[in-house]
Structure 1
Amino acid sequence: MTQAVLSEAVARQFSRAAPQYDRLASIQQHIAAQAIRQIPVSSGRLLDIGCGTGRNTALLAERGFDASGADLARGMVEYASLNYPHLSFCVADAQHLPFNNDAFDVVFSSMAMQWCQDINLAMSEVARILRHAGIATLSIMTDGSFGQLNASRRASGLSAVTNIMASHEKWLTAAQESGFTVLQAENIAYTDTFADILSLLRSIKSVGAGVRCDNASVSALSRRQLTLLESAYQRYKTPEGLLPLTYRVSHLVLEKQ
């Protein structure tokens, strides 16, 4: 899939998810909260890349930043603009940001940059729009995410449907090659839990994250396939009887040199 086609598909899916996103994306908000805590400064002109509904942008503005947001999904930007009219939002691709060089003191992004096919270009854009000594605080979903789901699908005779994502190490390399000093870097596992396989699968689709980057078609599962998948997933069941879904996330705090 070309980047243009992927961008359109991602934008369409996340635009549809906008009205329900904040209600359903609890683990995404937990990850964003961790990233916000890691920002080592408390003021300055800040851009939230992949701002979604604008919730985090507004939280950052409340903390004292001159915050604005950018998102690929027009529906998300419209939703954010409606709910936070005092803030500025625009439609933009993280790999082609419509801002001047050295325009921001801080860049923040949570659970968005994994959609970029060219991670080096995305990281170089973050560096370009930051001033000297500017800070980037990023949380990015990485490879190893959804491991239980992929293994259970294989055990059920089904193909994996999650996207191939760049590793923590590749994002680190991209950051260093873009001229950043790494102030902090860690890859953390976050696990959500669900009562059954249908609610687990819906948690991915309902927040817009079901787009395939390889243009492969994904057929709806039959009742028999769902039963097989849920049976295979039992090996991961928690002591409370819930089905886990793990996100692996790189938390990076970077300084532009």
Structure 2
Amino acid sequence: MTLTLKILSATTLKQKPVQSSELADNQKQPITAGEEFELDSYSVEHDHVRCFFAKNTFKDTNAWYAFGKHIQVNHEQTLVFPKPLPDHIKLPIRYRSQRDNRLNPNGSCNVTSLAMCLDFLGAPRRKSQGQFEDELYEQMEWYGLRRHHPEDLARVVEMYGCRDVFRKDAKVDRLKSWLAEGNPAVIHGYFTSFGHIVVAAGYDATGFLIHDPYGEWHSWGYDRNEPGWYDNKGEYIHYSYNLISRLCIADGSFWVHFISKP
């Protein structure tokens, strides 16, 4: 079966998945639009594709990275990258409210969001009692980890046997692809002046389906969960792509934790 790499627009093959300007001349190879190459295999690494050429070498190697938006990969006559996405995805992630947490219910969106993802992925807990999010809060305190630092949140995920690839330059299309693969994600944004963290649980044509642990965001503020009365107002909330862009990508950066099984 033949894998074919097609160059959609003029690009530069690279030895590392970084900006070509950061590489020496012997680490990059310009390629013109319209060229096609046979591949032995390929792998997707965020916004780049690592290609192993079957019949071509450049500068004595057949392994190169290509920027994903400049190429496509076909298996026989079928497009396999970029993978066509379903029109909508809704992952069966159990919703958790932060407002009923024993520890810091108004400031624990971070560990509550992680608990939703870890629970969905089947990560084993270390305690048999209490809420998962309170357990994560205590674990971070015990190990001196900071809940408001994304790198420390990623460390907690990994402590529980899962993988967390945190990106400051994530794109909406990559997040949709991640969800379509059956994986959850955690998004940083300015839903509040201090900052807030939510879970991406799906998408449709106009926006993401979000598990917001605090409740439902509105331009005037939050319709927040009230413990013991109504505590799932943030479950599968539809936040439009425009809203996510305004609240999470205002400076061009999209902070996302791509969480999965190891």
Fold agreement, TM-score > 0.5: no
TM-score (structure 1 length as normaliser): 0.27
**Would you tell me which structure has more strand in proportion to its own residues?**
2
TM-score (structure 2 length as normaliser): 0.26
Larger radius of gyration: 2
Larger RCO (alpha carbons 8 Å, 6+ apart): 1
